[in-house]
Amino acid sequence: MEQPTTVTADESALVAAFEARIAAGESIEPKDWMPERYRRQLIRMMSQHAHSEIVGMLPEGNWITRAPSLRRKMSLIAKVQDEAGHGLYIYCGTETLGVDRHELVAQLLDGRAKYSSIFNYPTLSWADMGVIGWFVDGAAIVNQTILAKASYGPYARAMVRICKEENFHKRQGYEICATLANGTPAQREMLQEAVNRFWWPSLMMFGPSDTDSPNSAELLKWRVKRKTNDELRQRFINLTVPQAAAIGVTLPDPDLRFNAETNNWEFGEIDWAEFFQVIGGNGPCNKERIAARQKAHDDGAWVREAATAHAGKQRRDVQAA
Ligand code: FAQ
């Protein structure tokens, strides 16, 4: 039977010192003492973030060959490549917590680890590429700009660089949308249809509402999160409503209205049943996404074997020298 965890007097002194450092705004680094629960929460959140970047390549990768011009193709290839880079930085950051990347990837492939719900929706038209850049990267920036102030140094520092790249992604997406909005009636209709499909799933990216978010209290206490899910969602909506108006797109929410007292755009009810279906593995593309990742993992087996053999050879060469 699992023994209850007991906190020794020594450990409570360590926890108090750790929390005092966090309260003083210090950054926690890999070799610093940290409570086991802090380490586990970070591994969970950071690995799921890394998985999201990697799985997030799939819906857009699907459109590289069909992008309508060489310029658009080049930007989309660069964007998808950036997402791979983000996944790799964050996997590296997670490894500083003493976990092996192979274990993290195994958790993704066998369904133990989550990745962002948004990537379980299909990309049906070229306008989806614009809307993903605008909404999905836009939501990621709102979330990650705050995570750049997270208490764990390697995660916070990864976010600084990632946010710079996400800004470029968002601009390329919004530019595609603005171009379509100024195009033919068919292009405008394609854009509006993509906005209608992606608006609500984009709001779900920020996670369940605060009253239903089991991890928030602990993450806020330890300053991994600095704002709640609902605060960030509201900020994203406030930023996006005027951007939609500027290009003449309608956001599919009849309840959107500005509250001059709070300075916020109030919005309608999110379909939480849909959200929990998607994060439970039953969204429109969950099975397809994991099958594609599994295939990529299997196809890459020879690369991992070759890299391991090369590293072994280098080690032997150094020992022999
Ligand atoms: N999807 O207690 P909370 C991107 C899970 S990067 C799936 O509120 P927490 C770039 C949550 O894990 C997008 N699962 O959880 C890009 C937990 O389950 P667990 C990814 C979700 O951690 C653009 C449970 O629900 N960004 O887009 C979602 O306090 C374009 C209870 O929730 C990050 O990962 C969801 N939307 O807050 C790439 C940012 N929401 O683990 C390619 C870092 C919640 O207990 C193309 N992460 N869950 O089984 C975070 O900020 C937080 O982890 C939240 C969730 C806000 C996502």
SS (H, E, C) 84-116: HHHHHHHHHHHHCCCCCHHHHHHHHHCCCCCCC
Mutate to test the pocket of ligand 1, among 116, 128, 144 (most ligand atoms within 8 A of CB): 116
Report the nearest-CA residue for atom 46 of ligand 1: 56
**pTM of the complete model:** 0.95
Choose which residue among 52, 89, 136 to substitute to test ligand 1 binding: the one with the highest number of ligand atoms within 8 A of its C-beta.
52
Does 176 sit in the ligand 1 pocket, CB within 6 Å? Answer: no
> Percent of the chain having pLDDT more than 70?
98
Residues 262-301 have pLDDT tens digits of 999 999 999 999 999 999 999 999 999 999 999 999 999 9
Task: Report how far residue 84's alpha carbon sits from residue 196's, in angstroms, rounded to the nearest whole number.
Answer: 28
Nearest CA residue ID for atom 15, ligand 1: 215
Is there a contact between 73 and 64 (Cβ–Cβ < 8 Å)?
yes
- Please determine, for residue 35, whether its predicted confidence score (pLDDT) is greater than 50: yes
Element (H, E) at 259: strand 257-259
Buried b (16+ CB within 10 A) or exposed e, 155-194: bbebbeebbebbeebbebbbebbbebbeeeeeebebbbeb
pLDDT band at 10 (very low <50, low <70, confident <90, very high): confident
Helix axes 36-55, 70-95, angle to 10 degrees: 160
Band (pLDDT 50/70/90 cuts) for residue 144 is very high
pLDDT confidence of residue 1: 38
**pLDDT, tens digit, 9 for 90 and up, residues 116-125:** 999 999 999 9
Provide mean pLDDT across the span 153-173.
96
At 6, is the pLDDT very low, low, confident or very high (cuts 50, 70, 90)? low
Give the SS3 label for residue 270: coil
For the chain, what percent of residues have pLDDT higher than 90? 96
Q: What are phi and psi of 69, to 5 degrees?
A: -150, 170
Comparing CA positions, the residue from 304, 321, 306 lying closest to residue 105 is 304
pLDDT, tens only, 36-83: 999 999 999 999 999 999 999 999 999 999 999 999 999 999 999 999
Say yes or no: CB of residue 134 within 6 Å of ligand 1.
no
CA–centroid distance, residue 286 to ligand 1 (Å): 15
- At 152, phi and psi to the nearest 5? -90, 115
Residue 3 pLDDT greater than 60, yes or no:
no
Instruction: 13-18: list long-range contacts, CB under 8 Å, 24+ apart.
Output: none
What pLDDT is attached to residue 7? 63
For residue range 96-141, list pLDDT tens digits in order. 999 999 999 999 999 999 999 999 999 999 999 999 999 999 999 9
The Cα 292–Cα 275 span in angstroms is: 22
Q: Does 34 score more than 90 pLDDT?
A: yes
Question: Residue 231: is its pLDDT beyond 90?
Answer: yes
Residue 38 amino acid letter: Y
What's the pLDDT band for 5 if we cut at 50, 70, 90? low
User: Ligand 1, from 45, 115, 132, 202: best to mutate by most atoms within 8 Å of Cβ?
Assistant: 45
